[in-house]
Amino acid sequence: MKYSERKSIIQNKKALFDYEILEELDVGIILFGPEVKSLRAGQANLKGSYVTLHSGRPILVGAHIAEYTRNTNKKIDPKRERELLLSKKEILHLSQKIKEMGATLIVKEILSVGNLFKARLALAKGRKKWQKKQVLKERDLSREVRKFY
């Protein structure tokens, strides 16, 4: 696999429905060995995960990476908080946007880039119930149009 080749491992499909995506950013994740093996096997869930800025450090909260079954070392909590790798400039930019717009940082997907794992963060704004219904109507209409053409 080439270094520039990006392969999506896990996607947060619910987030695409619940939030309106404003901006995206790819960042690194600090993981332990067994977590890497679980991700390669596709054993993770991003539903309900988000990113907080705690003491100026971005932390991934609520992501579930299953325990690797063949792990003989110490047990790792599947829902532990994981630190993300961003530059100070990126952190300042994101914190300003969050304060200005009242937006949320969510994890849209986890990518495999060569032997590294990256998280695709999205600066997003939550949708209201009527907006979600409107999105469903638009999807149904586009599905019907594709059916006839």
Q: pLDDT digit string (tens) for 73-130?
A: 778 888 899 999 999 999 999 998 888 888 889 999 999 888 889 999 999 888 888 8
| Helix boundaries (H) for the chain | 13-18, 33-40, 88-101, 129-148
Q: pLDDT digit string (tens) for 37-85?
A: 888 888 899 988 999 998 889 999 999 998 888 876 778 888 899 999 9
Domains annotated for the chain, with CATH where assigned, are 6-148 (2.40.280.10)
Whether this model's pTM surpasses 0.75: yes
Residue 72 has what pLDDT?
A: 67
- Cβ 94 vs Cβ 106: under 8 Å: no
Residue 1 has what pLDDT?
A: 47
- Cβ 79 vs Cβ 95: under 8 Å: no
- Cβ 9 vs Cβ 112: under 8 Å: yes
Counting beta carbons within 10 angstroms of the beta carbon of residue 115, is it exposed (0 to 12), middle (13 to 18) or buried (19 or more)? Answer: exposed
